[in-house]
A = this chain, B = another copy of it.
Amino acid sequence: MKDEHTDGARVYAELRGADRAAEMQDLAQGTGAEAVIADLSLEFVFGKVWGRGGLDRKQRSLVTIGVLIALRQPAELENHLRVGLTNGLTLAEVEEAIVQTAPYAGFPAAWAAARALANVSSDRKDAPG
């Protein structure tokens, strides 16, 4: 593991699980655009931003979920709805976060987010215990 990835890989494992963190580190050592973005994500997004103090992880998830709903990035939103639940937001809190976006980002964005959460919830029910 590159030294620059140490902090980010630890944070990433806490947010997404050890298996995905290992995959992300493997990806970051490859070549091509995905490898560079994985490398910068581990060092910068997870090591330097998510690793900061001053807001707890549940609060960082609420901000991130708000951003991703407004940006209409459904695939990345599903990832961060999962991260929010891992970070300790209850399902009811994530639902309310989605409702809160409707007047600001508009109903179509909120509907899309509610459907993304339904996908996430059904995956979690199907997963082995």
Contacts of A127 in B (CB 8 A): none
Given A33-B114, A66-B67; A41-B107 close (CB under 8 Å): yes
**Interface of chain A, main secondary structure:** helix
Nearest chain B residue, comparing its CB with the CB of A107: B103
Number of copies: 6
| 1/0 contact string of A87-115 vs chain B (CB within 8 Å) | 00000111111111111111111111111
Give me 15 other A-B pairs in contact (C-beta within 8 A), A73-B108, A105-B106 excluded.
A32-B118, A36-B95, A37-B102, A40-B48, A41-B107, A52-B96, A54-B95, A54-B96, A60-B96, A62-B63, A67-B101, A67-B105, A71-B72, A71-B104, A71-B108
